[in-house]
Amino acid sequence: MLPTNGKFPVAGTGFGFWFGGTVTDPNPKALFHQGFLEVQFYPDTLVSKCKRNGDSIYTYAKNTYTVCSPVWSVIGNSEPAAFDAMLRRAGHRGPLVMHAGDTITLHYYGTPANDGAHIDVADLTTHQHGSIVLRNKRTGAMNPAFDRQEIGNALGWGVVNDAPNSFVWEIGHRSDFSKRPGAFCAPGHNGCESYNWRAWRETTPIRILGVTFGDGSAARNWAVVSDYGGKAQILDPKETGSTCAHYGGPYCIYPWFTQNDDESFTYGVNYPTTADDFGKANQFQRRPHCGGPYGKNSTYCMTVIR
């Protein structure tokens, strides 16, 4: 269920959120032959074009959501977009336009033909839908890299030891409609609403109602991870330049996952519907203690919260 603006706009806490997954990249120069898909939902945003470099052309539209779906790969010392496409409304050239409070489903899957990962988004409120296939003339087909959603099936060049598919809120950026659109910002910086308790509390948050796998079974366990170490980002200026003297207060919190009374999950802070906050920001591991291709302590471990 898509978030809704309140006294603060949803766009204030960052440029948006995404559902993502590790995919194959047929480019022989791509590190580990992998890319990372981000099906990016942009709040208060009407996209008119998704560019090949991962940028987009957009205008402000209150409580409106549109989508681009870049795939990022590592080539040498850079992280270019290997693919990008706009989620279009089926049968139309324009974007699939969704609105705050709408309930949507996102179906992500591969096919026996390996013709590229398929992304089908349906708005159950308006009965409109759209699809994207990860395939283009330059790179060929990009398919899901793993067939099981389990911890350890992680992106080879990532910094978290997670599962292959995930939900992420892209914090640490100013609003795309601020004086410094989309600029990176750190804890303690005035106006960096990602780390401001009020900015989260005074919106109606996203609700993740559930996950169903390809065999029809429902998710039994849930886990969380941060690629900056959660509280460590607030307390250690070496992480990203935090200016917070202590944890807490304006611009000095790290948002967290909660479970609501109806068993749905929310990201942000505690809300009136919160049933369990899993220790708030303490749910995230502060130091990288999991392994990966770069060594024993090169990735952040996940915390199983349910």
CA dist., res. 225 & res. 304, Å (int): 9
**Considering the entire predicted model, what is its pTM?**
0.96
CA dist., res. 240 & res. 26, Å (int): 33
pLDDT tens track, the chain, 306 positions: 999 999 999 999 988 999 999 999 999 999 999 999 999 999 999 999 999 999 999 999 999 999 999 999 999 999 999 999 999 999 999 999 999 999 999 999 999 999 999 999 999 999 999 999 999 888 899 999 999 999 999 999 999 999 999 999 999 999 999 999 999 999 999 999 999 999 999 999 999 999 999 999 999 999 999 999 999 999 999 888 999 999 999 999 999 999 999 999 999 999 999 999 999 999 999 999 999 989 999 999 999 999
